[in-house]
Amino acid sequence: MKLNCDIDIKHLTRVEGHGNIRIRIENGKVAEAQWEVVETPRFFEAMLVGKHYENAPYICGRICGICSIGHTLASIRAVENGFAITPSEQTAKLRLLLKHMETLQSHILHIYFLAAPDFLGVGSVLPLTESHPEVVQQALRLKLLANDMCDEVGGRRLHPTRTVVGGFTMLPDRYRLNQFRQRLRASLADLLASAKLFSTFDLPSFSRETEFVSLKGEGEGIYPFIGGDLVSSDGVVKAEYDYLAMTNEYMAEYSTSKLSKLSRKSMAVGALARLNNNFNELHPQAKEISEDLGLLAVNHNPYMNNVAQLVECVHVVLDSIVLIDELLSSDWQEERQPVIPQAGKGIAAVEVPRGILYHCLEFDDEGSIQRADCVIPTSQNHANIMYDIEDLARWCVAQGKNDRETELLAQMLVRAYDPCISCSVH
Amino acid sequence: MSIQGSLGTFLGVEMAKPKVGFFELSSCEGCQLQLLNNEATLLEFLSLLEVVYFREGMTEKSNDYDIAFVEGSITRDDEIERLKEIRHNAKIVVALGSCACFGGVNQLKNRFHDLEWVKKEVYGDYPISTRKAAPIADFIDIDLEIYGCPVKKEEVERIVSRLVLGKAVTHPQYPVCMECKANENICLFELGEPCLGPVTRAGCDSWCPSNRLGCWGCRGPAPAANFKQLKEIVKRYNIPVERLLDRLECFGGFQNIVTDMRGSGGKGENET
Ligand code: SF4
Ligand code: SF4
Ligand code: SF4
């Protein structure tokens, strides 16, 4: 058995933002196991103070380049909830479609560009262009489809332009939507090929029991993405406006990001949490693929988040086809409804690729923002990552892993969460 | 600016294949992501370069690079050292995106002159370090700026190809309105929305107005900008000055004009 080990990774690569991993094993005992967040804070919550409500989605989108659509939609929902505006059915569908394509884009980016190189034994996606050209082509095709659709519905693939409080500035072209429907159908072949590739990956068998937090699905086939009740796998259920009861933020010296907990010392959010809490709400075909890949609810292996993301890709593609059919079955309605500000507080919970995201905005009667609060998925995951690393270090000792293996497993563990660190600090 | 590297060919022309690194300071990393958002031409684009540092995308790291693309602004002391090191290592430093060029959205916190208040608003009494957000040119010499929040991938490709081929890189001097007119859009002012198209540097192909959103000025001022005329238009269409100021101060490129307008009649939002 390996008794000593010293791992010190500064600025872990192939993750979004800046974090460090430190593991020290002495005489077979874990002396130190740390996940450190060193990202610089940007103070978005302060930036918004004094700003007119229409700035919120525009500025908050800039919290994160990868999930800018999710942030934009969360801010819009917070404003609309604050002003008691209910989006039209058409707007709701278009937003969900846009959200789905962000999920697809982000998950594919993570699965192929950030996670897969570890499983295929290379340092980045670049060598894969030589060794596995078909895999890279699949990934690029899927990402291109998702991004093209974000352009069509949201106006731009990142930092969208058409999404505003009250609806959209402009509607997508119906002819092109129909073309996208064909491309979505065709993309299923690429996703099935991805599932096949995944089934050859050797996922570490490590697991640690934790509490999963997500939005709650609303019946069969309605996997949750935008708004609704909040739920945990330990049985906590809260209304959307009661988000603070789910987040319980605190600070710790090893992190410039805030941390969260609920019923236990840590909790997890993200694709695995959503899937664990809403397995029956998945599209049947997505559920089948999940079962084939050995992912059944409730699964406590953090590396399974990679698989959960792939399963969600299948779900969002299938659901997008349904959404497009519904949208095309009726004529376009008015794209934007009038907005009348009112004083009060607006709260939104939205599932973004990395987990549940909350935006809370307080307004005066002219719609000027008095206070803002954003709770980011990755910050809710930080404590869980940290305890996972501690347990993983012990597991590696027990399994007799060498330094190099332990180091790689720790990196893969953090990457599996697909952390968005600059987002978590914001 | 001359770049030495392993030689390759591009469209049959022999050329240097420069080593490049991508770096980020305080940012949303969206500008880097835009480079990966190039699925159709990504592999071709990458074949022009030898990427030796790209923390977000690869494990291998090297400090031997010709061109450094730096995204993000300076908002903490330790970033200054990192930036200087990048300058030291690189032959050419490119400021990538509005955060690097003007401070970007990060500089919105600067409008509260009291940074202690800013810290307290977000972290309470927990000690946290920060400084006024600033563009990278405040600390090092830069060779080139690529504007935008986010940058436009087509523009980055064009600029990088010219760099690699050793050709001069120029930016449009005219404002977004010119592109918007060429795209035959309905003017946003006609729809009652403010737009900074008349004063913002073109090059994005009127990205926002073409999607029926007024320009927020992410690319900074056009050299030929006529602010007097903009103020007149805003007055004519009865648009509150604050809505105009929201846009002008969003990305940091119009700092001077904001100070000027706040001083002369614009209602101050910056008292805390
Ligand atoms: S300029 Fe905009 S897109 Fe680029 S890093 Fe800054 S906030 Fe992100
Ligand atoms: S919409 Fe904006 S960019 Fe276009 S013409 Fe009008 S002012 Fe100029
Ligand atoms: S239209 Fe204005 S805000 Fe939009 S991308 Fe161009 S310069 Fe930036």
Please report the pLDDT score of residue B272 as a whole number: 36
| Residue A394 CB contacts under 8 Å (≥ 6 apart), including other chains | A30
Report the share of chain A in percent with pLDDT over 70: 100
- Our CA-based measurement puts residue B41 at a distance from the nearest CA of chain A, in whole angstroms, of 10
- Alpha-carbon distance A251 to A244, whole Å? 15
> Does the Cβ of B48 fall within 6 Å of ligand 2?
no
Whole-angstrom CA distances from A316 to A162, B58, B191 are 21, 28, 35
Nearest of B171, B181, B161, B217 to residue B48 by alpha carbon? B161
Domain count, chain A: 1
The reported pLDDT for the residue numbered B14 is: 52
Q: Is A206 helix (H, G, I), strand (E, B) or coil?
A: coil
| Residues with Cβ within 8 Å of residue A40, at least 6 apart in sequence | A256, A425, B25, B26, B75, B76, B79, B130
> Is there a contact between B39 and A126 if contact means CB atoms under 8 Å apart?
no
Give, for ligand 3, the residue of B99, B185, B215, B254 to mutate: max count of ligand atoms closer than 8 Å to Cβ: B215
Q: B195 CB less than 6 Å from ligand 2? A: yes
Tell me which H or E stretch contains A359.
strand A355-363
Pair B144, B95: CB distance under 8 Å: yes
In a domain, A405, yes or no: no
Residue A93 domain-assigned (yes or no): yes
Q: 3-class DSSP state for residue A332?
A: coil
pLDDT at A122: 86
B220 CB within 6 A, ligand 1: no
Is B147 close to ligand 3, i.e. is its CB under 6 Å away?
no
Whether residue B237 has its Cβ less than 6 Å from ligand 2? no
Residue numbers in chain B where pLDDT is lower than 50: 1-8, 10, 265-272
CATH number, domain containing residue A194: 1.10.645.10
Low-confidence ranges of chain A (pLDDT < 50): none
b/e map A158-195, b = 16+ CB within 10 Å: bbbbbbbbbbbbbbbeeeebeebbeebeebeebbeebb
Contact B57 A51 (CB under 8 A): no
CA distance A123 to chain B (A): 5
> A5 to chain B, minimum CA–CA distance in Å?
21
**C-alpha A254 – ligand 3 centre gap (Å):** 38
Between CA B142 and CA A212 the distance in angstroms is 47
Centre of ligand 3 from the C-alpha of residue A11, in Å: 32
Domains of chain B, by residue range, sit at: 8-165, 176-263
Expressed in angstroms and rounded, the spacing between residue B203 Cα and the centre of ligand 3 is 9
Distance between CA atoms of residues A421 and A401, nearest Å: 28
B132 touches B187 (CB < 8 A): no
pLDDT digits (tens, 9 = 90+) for B155-183: 988 888 888 888 889 999 999 999 999 99
Q: Which domain holds residue A334?
A: 44-385+411-425
Which chain B residues are within 8 Å of A408, Cβ to Cβ?
Answer: none
What's the confidence (pLDDT) of residue B13?
Answer: 52
Task: Assess: ipTM above 0.95.
Answer: no
- For ligand 2, atom 1: residue with the closest CA: B187
Q: Is B169 in the pocket of ligand 2 (CB under 6 A)?
A: no
Q: Which of B30, B39, B51 is closest, CB to CB, to A140?
A: B39
pTM of the model: 0.94
Calculate helix-pair angle for A174-199, A133-154, nearest 10 degrees. 150
Q: Do A43 and B122 touch (CB under 8 A)?
A: yes
Compute, in angstroms, the gap from residue B218 CA to the centroid of ligand 3. Answer: 5
CATH superfamily of B8-165: NADH:ubiquinone oxidoreductase-like, 20kDa subunit (3.40.50.700)
Among all residues of chain A, which has the CA nearest to that of B99?
A: A62
Contact B49/B41 with Cβ under 8 angstroms?
Answer: no
**A396 inside domain:** no
